[in-house]
């Protein structure tokens, strides 16, 4: 069984939700990325999403794009990211699959290597699936079939502005979980969760049995408390990545501790009372 399927099966049996942090690879360097991924797991992350830096923004707000730019300016290569993931995957709790790893990657990077070669390399490195935000569902059939043949999860996104007939198609084609975008626009911290999001989540639940995880704009304990009743998990990116801006003034240990403490606070809010 794919590690993502096993994770959500386990969480559902425990009545718990998934906390999914986003860590961009290579900022401030790959050794720090590995340490941050390991710290996230130690602090209670259920699954870790690893960003593959790309030069052109897809849905990334200024915080994540700046992080990607810092990494790319140092000459970061895709094979170096896979090597870092391979090293992390060799350690627990990743080795056993208890904390799956998922890539967030532009389809340009997949296409450049070749879809089959990319999936093979990703799986060998230790990824259980990938989110490809710039691949429309209408053009995803080939990659979906390849991924399914290898039991590699291809996670699709549905947004507040996605027409319902298209959202249903996306929900049916997604595997692993459905990534539910909470707001209109790009990634980044928001002051509050849109109230209409809960209505959308209730409707989506009638369209799929897949786990549904919400991302974009989630940054505070009160956000995760609001969302835990209507979702199977929450994804936090910019609120964590913003801390990487301080990397030049902190030691690696201090940086890892700072991110880890925020992860711990959000995990505690997600599971409060459970």
**pLDDT < 70: residue spans in the chain:** 57-60, 183-194, 273-274
pLDDT at 226: 80
Domains parsed from the chain with CATH numbers? 3-269 (3.20.20.70)
Given the residues 27, 60, 189, 232, the one annotated as active site:
60
pLDDT at 193: 64
261 classed as catalytic: no
pLDDT at 218: 84
* Alpha carbon 152 to chain centroid, angstroms: 15
Q: pLDDT per residue over 207-220, tens digit each?
A: 999 999 998 878 78
Q: pLDDT per residue over 138-186, tens digit each?
A: 999 999 999 999 999 999 999 888 999 999 999 999 999 999 987 654 4
pLDDT at 184: 52
pLDDT at 216: 80
pLDDT at 194: 67
pLDDT at 248: 83
60 classed as catalytic: yes
Given the residues 5, 27, 39, 49, the one annotated as active site:
49
pLDDT at 56: 76
């Amino acid at each position: 069984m794919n590690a993502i399927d096993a994770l959500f099966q386990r969480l559902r049996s425990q009545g718990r939700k998934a906390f999914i942090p986003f860590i961009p690879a290579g900022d401030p360097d790959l050794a720090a990325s590995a340490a941050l991924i390991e710290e996230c797991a130690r602090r209670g992350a259920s699954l870790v999403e690893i960003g593959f830096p790309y030069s052109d923004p897809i849905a990334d707000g200024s915080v994540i794009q700046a992080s990607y730019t810092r990494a790319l300016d140092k000459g970061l290569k895709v094979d170096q990211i896979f090597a870092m993931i391979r090293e992390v995957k060799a350690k627990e709790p990743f080795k056993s699959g208890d904390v799956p790893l998922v890539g967030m990657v532009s389809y340009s990077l997949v296409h450049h290597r070749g879809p089959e070669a990319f999936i093979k390399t990703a799986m060998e490195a230790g990824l259980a699936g990938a989110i490809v935000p710039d691949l429309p569902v209408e053009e995803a059939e080939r990659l979906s079939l390849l991924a399914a043949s290898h039991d590699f999860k291809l996670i699709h996104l549905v947004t507040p502005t996605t027409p319902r007939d298209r959202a249903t198609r996306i929900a049916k084609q997604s595997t692993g979980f459905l990534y539910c975008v909470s707001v209109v626009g790009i990634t980044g911290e928001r002051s509050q969760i849109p109230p209409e999001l809960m209505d959308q989540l209730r409707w989506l639940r009638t369209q799929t049995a897949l786990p549904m995880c919400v991302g974009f704009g989630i940054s505070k304990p009160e956000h995760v408390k609001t969302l835990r009743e209507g979702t199977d998990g929450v994804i936090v990116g910019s609120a964590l990545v913003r801390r990487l801006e301080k990397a030049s003034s902190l030691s690696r240990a201090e940086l890892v501790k700072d991110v880890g403490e925020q992860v711990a606070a959000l995990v505690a809010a997600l599971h409060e009372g459970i």
